[in-house]
Chain A
Amino acid sequence: MQLAETVVAVSIFAMPLTATVQMASQRQLSDQGQITRQQQMSAVDADRLALQGAWMQVKPSTCTMQTVVTMKNATTSLSAPTGIQRQLVYLKDGLTHASEGQALLARWTSSNGELLRQRIYTPMGVGLCS
């Protein structure tokens, strides 16, 4: 009788205990993932400020495509923070005049290619037109 009770008791206790152990291991992985994600987002924020700072140093005379090229040249020398990748893409609208509507798309992705954030910048948006 006592043996049966022990077996049942152990069985009852073992199920949630096993689940707890599994959860603990999954939580550890999940925590690591969350920490990595937070670090990546912080790195993106820092890089966004760095980019904006670099763009603010550009002093073009007009808001033209050349301004955007200058912006890109000024910012590509900035190395992206570790753990994330930064991509700068020209955006050009074929419907408008060649010197119009030029903008720069900045995309930040994680090392496995997941898109973290993206923003479109124009010379005007960063106060570069004069």
Chain B
Amino acid sequence: MKNPEAQTRQRPRPAGPARTHVRTRRWQPTDRGGQPGFLLPLAIMGALLLVTSNVALLLADLQIVQAQAVEEERNSDNDQLLSAAHLIGDYIIPSKTQFSCLSALEFSQWSCRVSAIRPIVNASSLATTVNKFMATGDFSPVTIKNWSPTRSGSSLTGGVLTLEATDNNNVKQQKSFYIRFPGGGRISTATEEPQS
């Protein structure tokens, strides 16, 4: 079998125009067996595939970020309302502060004076005092929506406090807290960490 390379070497090279002709022929698709227009659709398909996968990944990331943001917003709302409940519970615990007389009254009757030297207090003054604390902690103000005292016989055992807060998205959140007075005040909710 003859060596084709040797044959090429032995063959005299054609003059300038002929060499150009040979080089031009090499780029013709038919010389390599490729199909004309093959690369372009392949590139478009690959690009579309990449774009689609990128969009899918972006959407997945967005969902994760949104879920985390919702979770953090919910935690923030819970912290805000529970902090306010702690403060209000601390203020209205019987025989402690100028707001103590409120604890025995239904919310619709919230206006009283605990002693001759203390001012008359109501839901608004209590909310103002509590929100001063809340502002110190960079919390948004909360609104007291309801208070229903609970009794065991003639003694006051606690009550259900309903608070409302407005979150960063201007959505109002309401939550009820069960406050128990005897044997140490306790605040708990059905959804927030139990204070046992």
Contacts of A105 in B (CB 8 A): 136-137
User: Which residues in window 47-80 of B have CB below 8 A to A?
Assistant: 47, 50-51, 53-54, 57-58, 61, 64-65, 68, 72, 75-76, 79
Contacts of B72 in A (CB 8 A): 41
Contacts of A91 in B (CB 8 A): 133, 136-137
Contacts of A119 in B (CB 8 A): 79, 82-83
User: Which residues in window 1-57 of B have CB below 8 A to A?
Assistant: 27-29, 34, 36-37, 39-40, 42-44, 46-47, 50-51, 53-54, 57
Contacts of A1 in B (CB 8 A): 29, 36
Q: A125-B86, A127-B185 are in contact. Are A120 and B133 (CB under 8 A)?
A: yes
CB distance A117 to B137 under 8 Å?
no
CB distance B134 to A120 under 8 Å?
yes
Contacts of A3 in B (CB 8 A): 27
Interface size class of B (residues with CB under 8 A): 35 or more
Partner of A12, one of B47, B83, B85: B47
CB distance A97 to B87 under 8 Å?
no
State the interface size on chain A (CB cutoff 8 A).
49
Subset of 20 A-B contacts with CB under 8 Å? A2-B36, A6-B39, A8-B43, A9-B40, A9-B44, A12-B43, A16-B54, A30-B61, A63-B93, A95-B132, A96-B98, A101-B91, A101-B133, A103-B133, A121-B83, A124-B184, A125-B195, A127-B196, A129-B184, A129-B185
Identify 4 new A-B residue pairs, CB closer than 8 A, beyond the known A9-B39, A129-B185.
Answer: A17-B50, A89-B137, A93-B129, A125-B86
Binding site for A on B (CB under 8 A): 27-29, 34, 36-37, 39-40, 42-44, 46-47, 50-51, 53-54, 57-58, 61, 64-65, 68, 72, 75-76, 79, 82-87, 89-91, 93, 96-98, 129, 132-134, 136-139, 183-187, 193, 195-196
**10 interchain residue pairs of minimum CB distance:** A125-B86, A120-B83, A9-B43, A124-B185, A16-B50, A122-B90, A9-B39, A13-B43, A12-B43, A124-B90
